[in-house]
Structure 1
Amino acid sequence: MSGVEFSLIIPVKDEEAAIAPCLARVVAVLEALDDPVAHSFEILFIDDGSSDATLDMIRKANAADPRIRAISLSRNFGKEAALSAGLDAARGAAVVPLDVDLQDPPEALPKMIAEWRAGYDVVCGVRDNRQTDTLPKRITADFYYRAHNWLSDDKIPEHAGDFRLLDRKVVEVIRRMPERNRFMKGLFAWAGFKQTAVSYHREERKHGRTKYNYWKLWTLAIDGITSASTVPLRIWSYLGGLVALGALAYALFIIVRTLTTGIIVPGYASLMVAILFLGGLQLLSLGVLGEYVGRILTETKGRPLYIVRERIGD
């Protein structure tokens, strides 16, 4: 190993206004620590295809402080791939992913490091509230965490994001995972190890604006569930069985009614309802199956998770 005690991974895309405030606050927190981390840390930016002056800001920061490094990807590969690139390049004995918007406050890092020193391998940052989110986002986030933990054996802490401390041995386990469809919170949960949590107050975003809209959050949720569980496939098997049993029961009812009351011409409305209902179920089941088949295709292609265009500070 390089001897670096602590690595902070910060994925960025078009965040030129946030680089300097983020560094000022993070460096102040780390240098004030009563811990060896204060004298042995690195800050690793992952530039995920920025089109503004983000990379220039990072170059200036590196020229002033060699503890600041960066990897620039050849295009926008997405946050999950950027985090993977950061884990591959981080050199610290402990690693923490952090968003540049500082909604997850660096002031929580001392508590995380203290828990790590106490023997924990993973220290999750858990939000004590979601008041900075809109009401629809709070409701959908709560529903997602509950749904994910109900469907998957790999439970993720509720209201915990990517902000967490990972010991080097946990990082190495995650780096060895070969899948291309990556949901990092699920991978962190799958790895296991001795875990604890640190609560913190999530702040308002002060610089730039979020890159996540509701559609991207929905896509991330689908990726999270399909990467962690095959229960959705089983659900459609069970539902298909129930519909088949219902159809059989209805057929028996028709036979009995015909034998007792004579032949009755079936109604157009009931026939159309049955056809549309069963057709809708088939299309939905094909959609769920398609999600999994699409992931199989991505895995069989074997393309790299990301491509590095430039390294700064190596």
Structure 2
Amino acid sequence: METNQELISIVLPVFNEESGIQNTIEILQRFIAYQPEKYELIFVDDGSKDKSADIIKKQKEKYPTIKLIEFSRNFGHQLAITAGIKYAKGNAVIVMDADLQDPPSVIPNMIKKWHDGYDVVYGKRLVREGESIFKKFTAKMFYRLMKSISNIEIPLDTGDFRLMDAKVVKELNKLKEPEPFVRGLVSWVGFKQTSVQYERQERTAGESKYPLSKMIRLASDGITSFSAVPLKIMNYASIFSILIGFIYGLVKIFNHFSSVDFATCSMFILSGIIMFGLGTVGNYLFRTFDASKQRPQYIIANRYGFDYEKNKKYLKTLKQNNG
């Protein structure tokens, strides 16, 4: 097979994927062996407690295209993506999950769109196999909520599975947000973007690393990063509170209702509004406070496979063998 000079970097965040990471590596290696482009696979171990990193290190000896970044602890999926694209050297960078629910077979279509002149090609899910009705529903509602309240255009029904041109990655690497919402940032930087449609597969091993608590945190990061609507809602809530107080005053004057029951109801309503408002404002303030500390986004304990001279020799051998 004739090999061209384009290098494609695939970034794969990893967290406790021991049961499936071996299969993932084998599938990806079989895939890239038959592609005309050159590839590097950058695994970012996000503080796994199992043997995920050990398996990747062992496979790296067999496949020099594999690279591994180990975090000193768990910093989160979005920061694992951020670290991976920072160290990617490809003409284009593809982000995908290590469980391969987003299939490699979609990648050639992404590359074709990239060759057609698009700078970002994101995967748009038609089907989400193996996920609960609740998760599908909440994900669908989240994307539509983000679309309605954010100040940027975030495509519906898309995750982090996407191809980005090197110039897009260069701009993303300039951003230093402590809690990045990567898919939102990709939309924010702009450039020419399009989609490819695909059916998301069911997990073949392991379990989802995004339980409800993490999904809520991701949604919160996305909303507070790209929308001031929650703060505006609090303005309307304050007007509502004033109206409640005014009505209560009138009721007291004319004594048409039981003042005790109405006062109790008003107290609960106003208390709930105040607590919600404090929580909303606190979330925004914390993001500002967190950024002001200027801590590094993540800490890398070890890096493996980033000897590019050695990898060039491997790629040359691969080209000759496929030629």
TM-score by length of 2: 0.89
Name which of structure 1's ranges 123-132 and 81-90 shifts more when overlaid on structure 2. Answer: 123-132
In structure 1, the residue matched to 2:11 is 9
Q: Distance in 2 between matches of 1:57 and 1:244?
A: 61
Match of 1:235 among 233, 236, 242: 233
Which residue type is aligned with residue 292 of structure 2?
T
Q: Partner of 1:281 in structure 2? A: 273
**4+ long deviations beyond 6 Å:** none
Aligned pair partner of 1:108 in 96, 100, 106:
106
Indicate which of 20, 31, 41 corresponds to 1:29.
31
Query: Are the aligned partners of 1:4 and 1:91 in contact in 2 as well (CA < 8 Å)?
Result: no
Instruction: Output aligned runs, 1:141-180, within 5 Å.
Output: 141-180=139-178
Measured at CA, do residues 137 and 171 of structure 1 come closer, stay the same or move farther in structure 2, by a change above 3 Å?
same
Q: How many angstroms apart in 1 are the aligned matches of 2:188 and 2:82?
A: 15
Which of the numbers 63, 66, 71 marks the counterpart of 1:65?
63
Question: Using a 3 Å threshold, how does the CA distance of structure 1 residues 96 and 254 change in structure 2: closer, same or farther?
Answer: same
1:130 deviates by: 2.3
| Alpha-carbon offset, residue 131 of structure 1 | 3.9
Give the distance between the partners of 1:60 and 1:142, measured in 2 at CA.
Answer: 39
Report the Cα distance in structure 2 between the residues aligned to 1:62 and 1:209, rounded to whole angstroms.
24
Alpha-carbon distance in structure 2 between the residues aligned to 1:46 and 1:281:
42
Offset, 1:52: 1.8
RMSD over aligned Cα atoms: 1.7
- In 1, Cα distance between equivalents of 2:305 and 2:83: 15
CA contact (8 A) 1:8 1:97 kept: yes
Identity %: 39
Q: 2:216 aligns with which of 212, 215, 218?
A: 218
Q: Which residue of 2 aligns with 1:260?
A: none
**1:50–1:76 CA contact under 8 A, matched in 2:** yes
CA distance in 1, matches of 2:303, 2:234: 47
Matched residue SS, 2:160: strand
Determine the structure 2 residue equivalent to 1:56: 54
Instruction: Tell me, yes or no, if the aligned pair for 1:14 and 1:54 is still in contact at 8 Å.
Output: yes
Choose the corresponding residue for 2:42, options 44, 66, 77. Answer: 44
Letter in 2 for 1:67: T
SS in 1 for 2:84: helix
Question: Per the alignment, do residues 6 and 265 of structure 1 end up closer, same or farther by CA in structure 2, a change over 3 Å counting?
Answer: closer
> How far apart are residue 267 of structure 1 and its match?
2.1
Contact 1:145/1:158 (<8 A) preserved: yes
SS in 1 for 2:196: strand
Equivalent pair of 2:128/2:201 in contact (CA under 8 Å): no
Partner of 1:291: 283
**Alignment partner of 2:131: what SS?**
coil
Q: What's the TM-score, normalizing by structure 1?
A: 0.91
Query: What SS does the aligned partner of 2:50 have?
Result: coil
Any unmatched runs of 5+ in structure 2?
A: 307-323
* Equivalent position of 1:300 in the other structure: 292
Greater CA deviation, 60-69 or 165-174? 60-69
Equivalent residue of 1:17, what SS? coil
Judged with a 3 Å threshold, the aligned counterparts in structure 2 of structure 1 residues 265 and 4 are, in CA distance, closer, same or farther, namely closer
Any unmatched runs of 5+ in structure 1?
Answer: 258-262
- Tell me the amino acid that sits aligned with residue 280 of structure 1: G
